[in-house]
Amino acid sequence: MIIPWQELAADTLDNLIEEFVSRDGTDYGEQEYSLVDKVAQVRAALARGDAVLLFSECSGLCNIVPADQVSERNG
């Protein structure tokens, strides 16, 4: 299920994004970015519609994924 990021409290959204960008395996390429920069990049991707918040009812987990990787049945 896609969660509209605009409907989340600012602190909740920040916490979700910070948790996402600090996960093992989150790769930003050869250049290193600060946590603030990574959060800003993900927030911008959400605002542009390039990424979405996806909640799994099965696992109870939320993830941020590229919008083009979400099938219609998840929306």
CB 55 within 8 A of CB 61: yes
- Domains observed in the chain: 2-25+33-70 (1.10.10.610)
pLDDT tens for 8-26 read 999 999 999 999 988 865 5
Per-residue pLDDT tens digits for 27-67: 656 777 888 888 999 999 999 999 999 999 999 999 999 99
CA distance 64 to 58: 16
- Decide if pLDDT at 68 tops 70: yes
pTM: 0.81
Q: In the prediction, which pLDDT does 22 show? A: 87
The three-class DSSP label of residue 1 is: coil
